[in-house]
Amino acid sequence: MATISSAGIGSGLDVNSIVTQLVAIERQPITVLQTKATKIQTQISEFGKQKSALATLRDAASKLTSGDFWGQTTGASSNPSSVSVTTTTGAVAGNYAVEVTSLAASQSVATGVFAASTTPPGAGTLHIEVGAWGAGQTSFTPKTGATAVDITVDATDTLAQVRDKINAANAGVTATVLTDASGSRLMMRSTATGAENAFRTSVVDADGTNGDATGLSALAYDPSTAASTVMARTQIAANAAATLNGLPISSASNTLTNLVDGVTLKLSGVTTAPVNVSVVQDNDALKKQLQAFADAYNAVQTLITTQTKYDAATKTGGPLQGDGAAVGLQRQLRNLAGASSGASSTFARLSDVGLGTDATGQMVVSATKLDNALANPTELKKLFANADTLVASNNGLGRQIRVLADSFLSVDGSLSTRADGLRQRLDSNKDQQDKLTDRVAQTEKRLRAQYTALDTQMATLNGLSSYVTQQIAQYNKA
């Protein structure tokens, strides 16, 4: 008898459909688990968003506890085109009168005219030394820490190539080639301003004469030895000369960084009258950070409200509706936002300095109150940054919010443990799905084996029935 090769042929039943439907019934618990897994994964993701938003609030609150933050200053000048000012944290507020007599300059010398930049000046060795000239340039004092440089010039080196060799030597001097209708000249200039950054040059000329205007000697400049001076000085190396509140100042640079702590003055022009420079508290920077703090607070509140809300119209709840960790965080933050602190003798609450909350729990910044509070920076700083190890309620509110955020974000904090618990549930859910999937596979295998056996049996019975029918028909004929 032939073997049944396709389920249902022997019995006439739609075996595949029957088995598929039976297996689908067996898979229903898996579908339920998958739905639960999706919900758990969503909750884990929502806690991740919550931790991120809370970390931003913690960082914003932490900045408000920093002494550097409250020490921010800004500078202003009555004539910024001649004297500009910048400040760093720690600069002391004050007013200064600055007068500029002369600016710092770098030494500059130039050769005579060559036919073109491609003209070779001649072979030899060029010696460059940085230092300061004495009165009348009759003496030269090398700069402490500077190293004289020797540059080898080949007979085929053009004026432009000599320029490049000078620039590559890092000798405290830069070179350029100036070309006009008369021809080309090599100009050498100190890389830094100030009397101590002047320079002199001497040569060992391949033509045997080091002091004439021919050959490499054309690049010599040393007034202390008249025979060695061929190039012409076009600018003297000089210090800047100025006064600060009437006190004379000399500087090798036009940028003055050490006169007043945290204050940098940049001199750009000679003045005809005192320039008023002021250093004041940077209220704009303080306002910006306080607004960032309020925005970070509101972001946490909005996120948790969305996560835990219930929509009566759609009869659906947020992914964290009723979650104790989320609700607890929101409640504690709101309590702190409206709490009083003994940190300041002038300001007790955030609302006193313009950071009040509205009916929805959002923090609203009052510009008027904040401006008034900034007029008393010492007490405003205390409200946020004061530290008291004995009386917790005397800690600044910025410090208290930072501590609260840290407690929720720590490894054993509510948000972390809640997320860890959800991950464990997700792992357990996956294990259950794997076990049920294996069981369903075994069930399907068993059902197909049973229906295959049924097909075989029914095929045998059908064959026997046909045979009996034929025999009866033959018997009747006989």
DSSP E strands in 143-196: the ranges are 149-153, 173-180, 183-190
The Cα–Cα gap between 78 and 86 comes to 13
The Cα–Cα gap between 304 and 327 comes to 7
Q: Across-strand partners of 200? A: 129
Domain coordinates of the chain in residue numbers?
Answer: 1-72+282-345+387-478, 73-104+240-281, 108-235
For 147-179, the pLDDT digits (tens) are: 999 999 999 999 999 999 999 999 999 999 999
In degrees and rounded to multiples of 5, residue 216 shows phi and psi of -65, -15
The Cα–Cα gap between 66 and 72 comes to 11
The Cα–Cα gap between 254 and 341 comes to 49
Q: What is the pLDDT of residue 227?
A: 59
Closest by CA to 186, choosing from 196, 174, 198, is 174
> Look-up: residue for tokens 């100030």?
194
Q: Is the pLDDT of residue 252 over 70?
A: yes
For 321-348, the pLDDT digits (tens) are: 888 889 999 999 999 999 999 999 999 9
For 56-84, the pLDDT digits (tens) are: 999 999 999 998 899 899 999 999 999 99
> Look-up: residue for tokens 């596979």?
441
Stretch among 149-158, 205-214, 350-359 having the lowest mean pLDDT: 205-214
Q: 36 and 432 in contact (C-beta within 8 Å)?
A: no
For the 1-72+282-345+387-478 domain, the top CATH level (class) is mainly alpha
In degrees and rounded to multiples of 5, residue 198 shows phi and psi of -70, 180
Percentage of the chain surpassing pLDDT 70?
A: 96
Q: What is the pLDDT of residue 20?
A: 83
Instruction: Supply the angle between the helices 367-374 and 283-308 in degrees, to the nearest 10.
Output: 140
Distance, first Cα to last Cα, the chain: 28
pTM of the model: 0.72
CA atoms in the 13 A half-sphere facing the CB of 135: 0
DSSP 274: P
For 259-271, the pLDDT digits (tens) are: 889 999 999 999 9
Q: What is the pLDDT of residue 13?
A: 66
CB pairs under 8 A, 24+ apart, for 90-93?
Answer: 90/261, 90/262, 91/260, 91/261, 91/262, 91/263, 91/279, 92/260, 92/261, 92/262, 92/279, 93/279, 93/280, 93/281
- Average pLDDT over the chain reads 90
In degrees and rounded to multiples of 5, residue 80 shows phi and psi of -65, -20
Higher pLDDT, 89 or 48: 48
Q: What is the pLDDT of residue 12?
A: 61
> Look-up: residue for tokens 């004026």?
159
The Cα–Cα gap between 235 and 190 comes to 10
Where does the pLDDT of residue 6 fall: very low under 50, low under 70, confident under 90, or very high at 90 and above?
A: low
Higher pLDDT, 206 or 7: 206
Where does the pLDDT of residue 294 fall: very low under 50, low under 70, confident under 90, or very high at 90 and above?
A: very high
174: which 2 tokens? 């830069």
Which of left, alpha, beta for 151 (phi over 0: left; psi -120 to 50: alpha)? Answer: beta
